[in-house]
Chains A and B, each alone.
Chain A
C-alpha cells in the first residue's frame, strides 16, 4: 500500500504495545473518501485500540497515520477533531455535568469551531438527526445506556466530521432502533462522510458497508468485499465458526 494514495484516512504499519504486551502488530488500515468500512473480529483483537490510534487518544508505538494525504501521527486528539475525525466510544463517555444539548453545543463550538447561532443550529441538527430532540434538556447523567449511546453519536456528528469512527453503537438496540441507526448511517455516507464502523451485529453492518476488515490478535487477517471476507477460512477460524455462521 502506498502512503495514503487514495485514502482519506490511513494507518500504515501501526504497532501498539503496553510494556511487553503487544496489542497491534503492524496493522495497515485505510478508508477512502465516502466509503463505509466495517471492522469485525473477536474481543481483544485490537479494534478499539486501532480507533484510539486513528483518533489520536492513543499514541502508536510505531507506524504512520495519514489524513487527507498528510502525516498526522504527531497531532493530538483535539487537532484531529478540528481536522474532521470524530469517534464514539463503546462505553459512552458523555459530559455528565451537562445537559444533552450542552454536550452537543460543546462539540459544535470546540470541535466544529462554530460560534453563536451557527453552533446552536448545528447542535440542533445533530439532535434531530439522532432523534434526541425530546431529551435535549435532560442532564446527560440522567440518561440510560441506550440514550447515552445515541448522545455519543450525536456529539460526534456535532463536531462536523469528515471521518466518523463508530465503536459498537448498535449493541443493545431493538430491531426497530437498529433499522433507524442503519438508515442514519447510510444517509451520512450518502452525504459524503467516510464511515468506519466496529460492530458485532453483522446483519446491520452489512446493510451499510462497502468493505469489511477482519482483525484478530492485533492483526488484519482479511479484508475486501464483505461476502469474501466472511467466507475466508481464517476469519471463520478466528471467530471459532460460531458467530459468523449464525449471522449468515
Chain B
C-alpha cells in the first residue's frame, strides 16, 4: 500500500504538469481549452518526429520542441482564441473542441494509427529503478517526471510572483480592462500565457510518451485527467493543481492496487466526483449561512418537520 501511494504521488507530478497549462489558461484568459489533451499528444509526436525522422537524441528533441510549442500557443491565442472569446463563452468551447478533432485527425494523417512510444529511445531509463527497501522501488523516469513537474510549477510560481510579466499576468487575470489602463497590453499577456501553457503541456506530453504508448486519439483522456486535477486542486492555483494531481494519482494507484487493475481510472473519476459534490454542497451551504443552517433546512425539506431539538428551542424562545 505504501508502494501504491508512492507510485501515485509520482504519477501525480505528471498530472500536475499536464494540468498546469489548463489551469493557467483558465485562470488568466478565462476559457477552457478542450484541445488541451490533444496539444499534449501533439507535443509528444513532435518529440517523436525529432527522434525518429531527424535522428536527434530524445532530450535534445524535447528541448527543441518547447519553443515550437510555445510559438504554436502564441499563434493559437492571437489568431484563434482571442477572436472566438469575443463571441461569448460557448464559442471557445466549440472551437477548441474542433481544434482537438483537427489535431487528432492531422496526427493520424501524418503518423498513422500505430501506437508509438519514446520508451525505446531513452535506454535504461524507461524501466530502471532505485530500490528503496525490499518492497519499495521507485522508477527513475517517474522520479525525473515528478522533479521536473516541481521545477516547472516552482518556476511558474516565481515568475508570477516576482517578474514584470508575472505581475502583468496577475493583473490581467484580475481585471483586463483596468490592466490596460495601467499600461498592460492584455492581448499580449494572453498570448504569452497561452505560449507558456502550451509549452508546459507539450513537455507533459513528451513525458507521457516516455512512460506509455500513445496514439493520435489519446488526447481526450489526458484532457479529462488534467481537468480532474485542476478541479480537485481548486481552479487558478498552481500549488492546488499539484495537490490535485497528486490526489488523483494516489487515488488511481490505490484503486488499482486495493481493488483491481481495472479500477485505476474509475477510482480517479470517483474521487473527482466526490470532490466536485463536496465543493457543490459547501458552496450552497456557504450561501445559506453555514453548514448548520444548510443541514437543518435539508432535514426540513426531506422530513417536512424540524429536528426535535430545534422545535423545542423555538417553543422556548416563542
Contacts and interface: CB of A to CB of B under 8 A. Distances in A.
B171 interface: yes
A31 B178 CA distance: 23
Interface stretch (A1-9, A20-28, A105-113, A188-196): A105-113
A96 B181 CA distance: 15
Interface in B164-205: 164, 167-168, 170-171, 173-175, 177-186
A93 B177 contact: yes
Interface residues of A, number: 30
Interface in A116-130: none
Contacts of B184: 78, 106, 110-111
Contact of A110 (B173, B174, B175, B182): B182
Contacts of B175: 93, 95-96
Nearest to A103: B171
A110 B172 CA distance: 12
Contacts of A95: 170-171, 174-175, 178-179
Contact of A96 (B174, B185, B186): B174
B181 A87 contact: yes
Contact of B171 (A87, A98, A159): A98
Contacts of A97: 170, 173-174
B187 to A, nearest CB: 9
A65 B181 CA distance: 16
Interface residues on B, range: 10 to 19
A93 B183 contact: no
A5 B158 CA distance: 48
Max chain A C-beta neighbours (<10 A), residue from B168, B170, B180:
B180
Contact of B174 (A76, A81, A98, A155): A98
Interface string A226-242: 00000000000000000
B176 to A, nearest CB: 10
A103 B184 CA distance: 12
Interface string A61-80: 00000000000000011100
A155 B183 CA distance: 11
A105 B184 CA distance: 12
Contacts of B164: 109-110, 115
A69 B175 CA distance: 31
A98 B182 contact: no
Contacts of A96: 174-175
B181 A106 contact: no
A57 interface: yes
Contacts of A105: 167
A89 interface: yes
A15 interface: no
B173 A111 contact: no
B48 to A, nearest CB: 39
A77 B173 contact: no
Interface in A148-201: 155, 159
Contacts of A89: 178
Contacts of B186: 78
Given A109-B164, A110-B164, A115-B164, A81 B180 contact: yes
Interface string B111-151: 00000000000000000000000000000000000000000
B178 A93 contact: yes
A68 to B, nearest CB: 17
Contacts of B167: 98, 102, 105-106, 109-110
Contacts of A112: 183
A57 B174 contact: no
Given A98-B167, A102-B167, A110 B177 contact: no
A200 to B, nearest CB: 22
A82 B182 CA distance: 8
A80 to B, nearest CB: 8
Nearest to A141: B174
A107 B171 CA distance: 10
Contacts of B185: 76, 78
Contacts of A109: 164, 167-168
A112 B177 CA distance: 17
Contacts of B182: 81, 106-107, 110-111, 155, 159
A86 interface: yes
A40 interface: no
Contacts of B170: 95, 97-98, 102, 106
Nearest to B161: A102
B174 A55 contact: no
A57 B171 contact: no
Given A57-B177, A78-B186, A86-B181, 5 more contacts: A81-B180, A81-B181, A95-B170, A95-B174, A155-B182
Interface of B: 164, 167-168, 170-171, 173-175, 177-186
5 contacts: A78-B181, A96-B175, A97-B170, A103-B171, A110-B182
